[in-house]
Structures are given as C-alpha cells and as structure tokens.
Amino acid sequence: MYRIVTKTPLNPTVTQMEIEAPLVARKAKPGQFIILRVNADGERIPLTVAGTDPDRGTVKIIFQIVGATTEKLNHMQQGEYLQDFVGPLGVATHTEGIKKVCIVGGGVGCAIAMPVAQEFHRLGAEVTSIIGFRSKDLLILEDEFRACSDRIEVMTDDGSYGRHGNVTVPLKEMLEAGEQFDLIITIGPLIMMKFVVLTAKPFGVPVTVSMNPIMIDGTGMCGGCRLTLHRDGKNITKFACVDGPDFNGYEVDFDEAMSRGRMYADFERHAYTEACNLFRKEA
C-alpha cells in the first residue's frame, strides 16, 4: 500500500499528490511514468511522474479528473493509501547534447512537461517554455515554469490570462524570427501535439512528443498501447510502455492515436457518471 503524503488542488479539475513509494522515487527520471490502482479491483491507469524526492521517498503525480478512476483518486485524502503504485516505467526523456530546447505544454500536459523543463535547466540548457490553457482558472505550475525557463510564454485559448491564442502562435513567431532550437518537446492533448509538429515542420526542427495511450500492464505484455510510426515509407508498430512514451513527432500517426484513444468513450462516460453519482450519494 502506498501512502498519500500530500494532496494539493492545483485548479478545480487538476490535483497534485505526493505518494510514498521509495523505490520508485529513487529511480524515476523525467519523462517516465507510473501505473496505479486506487483500490482493489480498480482500473490500472498510467500517470507521468511530475517529480520525485528520493530523500523523503516520495513521487509527485498530477492528474486531471477525466473519468471514474481519476474521480475516485481525487476523493482519496492525505494519509490514506493507494492499493498499487508501480514504476518507473517507460524510457526517460533523452537530454544528451541538447543546448537549446523549447518545451511546449498544454493543459495538464504541463505537469509532465515541467520536470522535463527543470531537468534541461539543471543540465544548463537554454529553456524556452510555451504553456497553454483553455482559460485562466485552469492555469497550473506557472511559477515552477518561470523558475526553470530562460523565456516563457503563457497562452490561454480565451485570452483570460497571458496571451490570447494557442501554443503554436508564439512557437511559429519564434521559428520565423530565426530561433534555432536543437529540439522541441511537446506534451499535451494529441491534437495540440499534432499541430506543434505541423508548425515546426517547415523549419526542420526535431520534435519529440509524449504519448499517453490506453495501457494496462505497462511492462510490454498486453500490446494495448501500440501506435504506428511512419518511417522510410513503412508502417512500424511501437509500444508506448516500453519503447516510449517519447517518440519522434514526425513519425507518429496522430489520427490513429486519437481514434484509438476514444475506443472506450461510451464506457468511460458511463463509468464517470456512475462514480460521480456514488460520491454525491455519500456526500
């Protein structure tokens, strides 16, 4: 069992928790993920590691309430225990040789982007961060990004905070102004990552995307997290759990990934409603 050491709401739908998991805390690197189950018989869900404190033996996770399991997770309180917590899984983000990086995060994806930005900052790279949200009340981690970025752009879709527009606007401006990034790393909704790739393409800048498909075991057994890469005119099947979650953005078949991500949409909507009703009854 894994104790919830702290619980902090970051906005009305996003919560941060620190979980006591010393073995994971000792090992996890930016870009890696964990799988947890809230309770026995619960679903296994993957969440990217948002930070670690090896001395205290804790792992930070940040999640958005999107379905039944994250709803249940959000009802857990400090001092309570999660049933299962396993990791770190996946391959850490490659940082070698990158001197100048642009981190593009969207929504709760910023929670994953943040430790990556911090790691590049720690390694002495020049970090540009572009973080985008739907509106001001969904903004998270702005201070953390400011602390590890040489330059930052905060965007909102509705213009309620920072600049009005989506993350590709400043990215395009920078690239057109002749900014030379060694690498763009983008983490957020699939549709956003797809457009970041399209924006960067004319400039030939490498783009790494962080994929978060439906997953069960997370150890390279079930094959549910497969995605298709287009490389040299061939279709290659890769598994996000062991080959990723980071992939070359120019190779990923985003349309297929978006379609696969909606496989259980009906089930999930129903389960979410049920979970919400359950908590309403208890309250």
Partner 1 sequence: MAINPKKHEMPTQAPEVRAHNFNEVALGYPVEIAVDEAKRCLNCKNRPCVAGCPVNIHIPEFISKIKENDFEGAYQIISGSSSLPAVCGRVCPQETQCESKCTLGIKFEPVGIGRLERFVADWHNAHATEAPAVPEQNGHKVAIVGSGPSGLTCAGDLAKKGYKVTVYEALHTAGGVLVYGIPEFRLPKAIVAKEVETLKALGVDVEPNVVIGKTLTVDELFEMGYEAVFIGSGAGLPNFMGIPGESLKGVYSANEFLTRSNLMKAYRDDPETPIMKGGKVAVVGGGNVAMDAARTALRLGAEHVYIVYRRSMDELPARREEVEHAMEEGIDFRLLNNPVEILGYQNPDDPRDPKNGFVTGMRCIKMELGEPDAKGRRRPIPIPGSEFTLDVDTVIIAIGTSPNPLIKSTTKGLEVNSHGGIIVNEDGLTSREAVYAGGDAVTGAATVISAMGAGKVAAKAIDEYLMRSSNT
Instruction: Based on the shown chain and the rule CB under 8 A, indicate whether residue 190 belongs to the binding site for partner 1.
Output: no
Segment lying near partner 1 (by CB under 8 A), choices 132-140, 152-160, 198-206, 252-260: 252-260
Q: Are 120 and 182 in contact (CB under 8 A)?
A: no
Closest C-alpha among 128, 243, 249 to residue 188? 249
Q: What is the CB neighbour count within 10 angstroms for residue 255? A: 12
Among 223, 248, 276, 277, binds partner 1 (CB under 8 A): 223
Segment lying near partner 1 (by CB under 8 A), choices 55-63, 110-118, 130-138, 267-275: 267-275
Segment lying near partner 1 (by CB under 8 A), choices 19-27, 144-152, 168-176, 190-198: 19-27
202 or 223: CB nearest partner 1 = 223
Among 66, 147, 221, 276, binds partner 1 (CB under 8 A): 221
Q: List alpha helices for the chain, DSSP H.
A: 22-27, 68-74, 110-122, 142-148, 168-176, 190-200, 240-243, 254-261, 265-282
Closest C-alpha among 194, 121, 196, 113 to residue 151? 121
Q: Are 140 and 108 in contact (CB under 8 A)?
A: yes
Beta bridge partners of 45: 36
Among 41, 55, 96, 232, binds partner 1 (CB under 8 A): 41
**Residues making contact with partner 1 (CB under 8 A):** 23-24, 27, 37, 41-44, 68-69, 83-89, 216-217, 219-224, 226-228, 237, 239, 242, 253, 256, 259-260, 262-268, 271
